[in-house]
């Protein structure tokens, strides 16, 4: 389990578009103070866990829930996270992705892992996001010079 990431996204499907995730990351970066500097993807039985690290500005708990939802995280998980964030007493570890899941009898039913598909998705997401961010920076520079 990765514990120092700022944003934790739980996607419960295998058909994931690197382009869509990168576009959503870029959209968040354009309209908020959060810039993503690192991505890690792990495959699970149902889909993927995506871990993101932000640059200098760190998101508040409410920001985290909103960003995770925008990036396609399981809406049920994010609703419960929102209720935890808005509750009177917030647990220190309210925003978690489990590396291993067990059924009621203690049998392991899922474990996140690094796979060829997760590595490819990770590389594609971050390359696309960087390209979009660099294009935006170049456009801003050109418009400032005009």
pLDDT digits (tens, 9 = 90+) for 92-134: 777 777 666 666 777 766 788 999 999 999 999 999 999 999 9
Determine contact, residues 96/23, Cβ cutoff 8 Å. no
pLDDT tens figures, 2-43: 678 999 999 999 999 999 999 999 999 999 999 999 999 999
What pLDDT shows up at residue 102?
A: 65
Tell me the torsion sign for CA atoms 1, 98, 15, 33. negative
Is this prediction's pTM over 0.75?
yes
Q: Which of 11-15, 71-75, 123-127, 136-140 is least confident?
A: 136-140
| Residue 59 to residue 56: CA distance in whole angstroms | 10
- Locate 105 and state its tokens: 């009898």
């Amino acid at each position: 389990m990765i514990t120092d990431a700022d944003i934790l996204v739980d996607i419960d499907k295998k058909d994931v578009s690197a382009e869509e995730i990168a576009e959503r990351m870029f959209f968040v970066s354009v309209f908020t103070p959060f810039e993503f500097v690192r991505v890690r993807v792990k495959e699970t039985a149902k889909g993927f866990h995506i871990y993101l690290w932000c640059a200098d500005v760190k998101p508040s708990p409410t920001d985290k829930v909103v960003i995770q939802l925008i990036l396609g995280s399981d809406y049920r998980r994010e609703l419960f996270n929102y209720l935890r964030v808005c509750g009177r007493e917030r647990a220190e570890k309210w925003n978690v992705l489990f590396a291993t899941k067990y059924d009621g009898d203690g049998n392991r039913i899922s474990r996140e892992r690094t796979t060829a598909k997760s590595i490819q998705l990770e590389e594609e997401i971050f390359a696309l996001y960087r390209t979009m961010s660099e294009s935006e920076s170049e456009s801003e520079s050109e418009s400032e010079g005009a």
